[in-house]
């Protein structure tokens, strides 16, 4: 392992043992540090250890000691800077998206355009991104509208063939966070 001077290429030395028995050599929960070379070692890869860095490795055994299955989870370390007097270092929760105003149905005359708008708020100072989608089969299937990435979307000129079939919605997202999909808005097109 990298943290042990690369003396254990097979990831068999536990770095973190059961808190109730820190000297146990047969503990089945290991926190292992794997460097990039060790991540390529065949024995480690056979155990499912493929990610460099800290990994939580668990073996599940029967009463006879036979390994029935293994699990590997990459661990993420978060470094919080040293506290400054009066400063509380905290990890902020993920941004939350709320749609306050949903897109509204539109009634237009053939040859006109329809405009749909959504009003969304995002917490934690995050920036919202938008992707409008269109369904021409009453909402069974949706496809992204190319270039429609703002809070409002204006369609091309519509024809009577679009009447009561076309629906529009928007997916509001934050980078590295969640997404929220708006309600669908139907467009009605009256013949000239």
Hey, what domains does the chain have and what are their CATH numbers?
Answer: 2-74 (no CATH), 97-190 (2.60.40.10)
pLDDT score, position 164: 62
Q: What pLDDT does residue 22 have?
A: 43
For the entire predicted model, the pTM comes to 0.54
Using CA atoms, how far residue 80 sits from 55, 68, 89, 178, in Å, is 20, 38, 7, 24
Q: Note the pLDDT tens digit of each residue in 10-60.
A: 444 444 434 444 444 444 566 667 777 777 777 777 777 777 777 777 776
Encode pLDDT of 131-177 as tens digits.
Answer: 999 998 888 999 999 999 999 999 999 887 766 678 999 999 987 66
CA 169 to chain centre: 21
């Amino acid at each position: 392992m990298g943290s042990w001077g690369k003396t254990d290429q097979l990831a068999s030395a536990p770095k973190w043992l059961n808190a109730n028995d820190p000297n146990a050599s047969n503990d089945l929960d290991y926190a292992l540090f794997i460097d990039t070379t060790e991540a390529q070692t065949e024995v480690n890869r056979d155990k499912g250890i493929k990610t460099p860095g800290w990994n939580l490795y668990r073996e599940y055994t029967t009463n006879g000691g036979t390994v029935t299955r293994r699990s590997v989870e990459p661990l993420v370390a978060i470094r919080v800077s040293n506290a400054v007097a009066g400063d509380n270092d905290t990890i902020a929760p993920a941004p939350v998206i709320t749609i306050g105003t949903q897109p509204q149905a539109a009634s237009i005359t053939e040859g006109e355009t329809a405009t749909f708008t959504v009003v969304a708020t995002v917490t934690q100072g995050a920036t919202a991104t938008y992707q409008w989608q269109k369904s021409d089969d009453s909402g069974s299937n949706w496809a992204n509208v190319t270039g429609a990435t703002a809070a409002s979307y204006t369609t091309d000129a519509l024809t009577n063939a679009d009447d009561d079939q076309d629906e529009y919605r928007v997916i509001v997202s934050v980078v590295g966070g969640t997404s929220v999909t708006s309600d669908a808005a139907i467009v009605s097109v009256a013949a000239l």
